[in-house]
Amino acid sequence: MENNNTISTLLVANAYGPADVLTFQDFDLGELRNGYARIKTKTAGINPIDARRMTGEFKHSGLPQTFGTEFSGEILAIGENSQGFKIGDAVLGSGDGFTHASVIDVPIGNLIRKPENISWEVAGSVAGVSQTAMTILDEIGDIKSLLIHGASGGVGSITVQLAKERGITVIGTASKRKLEYMESLGAIAVEYGDGLIERIKAAHPEAIDAAVDMIGTEEATQASLATVKPDGVIATIAGKPVSSKRVIPIWVKRNPKNLQFVVDGLASGKFQWEIDSVFPFDKAKDAFSKILEGHTKGKLLLQF
C-alpha cells in the first residue's frame, strides 16, 4: 500500500457567523486506516446545510467545524479490502466527516467509479443530493402526485426527475425566473409568493398525495397543509423548526446503490444535471456567501 500526500488543507470555522469565519488549516491525515481510500479531491459540492452550520443556525457538532459531504477525485492510496479499486482511479462519493479539503480519507464502501463522460464538476456535486432525493421518494412511498417546494435547487432538480421516472406527477414551486427550467425537467411549475395556494390548486385541482419542503419556509408549510390529502405525507429536509406536527423530517440515508442508479442515469443522458457556479477552493468564502443568498439553480461547488 502506497501512503503519500498525508498533508491536507481543510476548510475550517472556529466560530459561528458569516463566511468571514472560514479559514484554511493544514492537517496531517496520518496513516491510512484499513477499509479507507485516500483521495486527491478534484471538486466538492456545497449544500445549504453547510452554510447553515457555518452560521450556527443548524448545530450538530461543536467547534471547530469542517464541511462537505460529497466529492470527486483520484485515489492516492488505498487500504486492504480495496473492492477492486486501485491507485489512480477516478471516483466520486460521500465523505466521512468532511470533503472540503484538498486530500480526504473516505471509506472504500462509499466510492463509485466516475464515468468518463461525466465531468469532475458533475461528479463532485452528485452524491449528497442524489441519495437525499432517493431517500425522500423511498420514504414517502407509493404516490401518484408530489408537491416539491424549492424544486429548482440541487436536491429538488434530481427529485423532480426521479419522481417523473417513477410515473409521479410533480408540482414544483420556484422563483419566476426558474419556472421554465422546472418545466424542462417535467414538473408543473408554480411561482412561489403571495397567492401560492391558489396557484397550486389551479395547476393541480385534485388534492396532492404528498409534499416535501426543501427550503424551510412557513409559506411552504401552509401551502402543503392546504393542498395535500388529509392522510398524505408532508415532509421537510430543511432541518428548520416547523409550525405543524404533521410535517415530518427526512434525513438522508447513504446508499451507494442509489447513487450508482443516478450516476448511470446521468452517464446515459436520462437525467439532467445543472451546475450553478464553480468556485476555486481559495474563494470558498465567496461560495458560502452565495449559497446563503439562496435562489441557486442546481449545485454550487468548490474546485481544487
Cβ atoms 256, 243 nearer than 8 A: no
Distance (Å, rounded) from C-alpha 72 to C-alpha 303?
A: 10
The pLDDT score that the predictor gives to residue 239 is 84
The verdict on whether omega for the bond into residue 64 sits within 30 degrees of 0, i.e. cis, is yes
Residues 103 and 57 in one domain: yes
Residue corresponding to grid cell 397543509: 225
- pLDDT above 50 for 259: yes
The pLDDT score that the predictor gives to residue 3 is 42
Extract the C-alpha cell encoding 180. Answer: 421554465
* Predicted confidence (pLDDT) per residue in 132-142, tens digit: 999 999 999 99
Residues 163 and 198 in one domain: yes
Question: Please, where are the H alpha helices in the chain?
Answer: 48-55, 120-124, 127-140, 154-165, 179-185, 196-203, 218-227, 256-268, 284-293
Residues 28 and 108 in one domain: yes
Distance (Å, rounded) from C-alpha 294 to C-alpha 215?
A: 9
Residues 290 and 229 in one domain: no
| CATH number of residue 189's parent domain | 3.40.50.720
Distance (Å, rounded) from C-alpha 200 to C-alpha 169?
A: 13
* Predicted confidence (pLDDT) per residue in 79-106, tens digit: 887 889 999 999 999 998 799 999 999 9
256 inside domain: no
265 inside domain: no
For the whole model, what pTM was predicted?
0.87
Distance (Å, rounded) from C-alpha 70 to C-alpha 130?
A: 10
What's the chain's length in residues? 304
118 inside domain: yes
2 inside domain: no
What range defines the domain where residue 214 resides? Answer: 130-249
* Total domains in the fold of the chain: 2
74 inside domain: yes
260 inside domain: no
Residues 240 and 294 in one domain: no
263 inside domain: no
Cβ atoms 213, 246 nearer than 8 A: no
For CA atoms 76, 78, 83, 84, the dihedral sign is positive
DSSP letters spanning 10-47: EEEESS-SSGGGEEEEEEE--SPPTTEEEEEEEEEEE-
Residues 138 and 236 in one domain: yes
Residues 110 and 22 in one domain: yes
Question: Please, where are the H alpha helices in 59-147?
Answer: 120-124, 127-140
Residues 142 and 215 in one domain: yes
Task: Find, among 160, 72, 157, the residue nearest to 120 by Cα.
Answer: 72
The pLDDT score that the predictor gives to residue 297 is 79
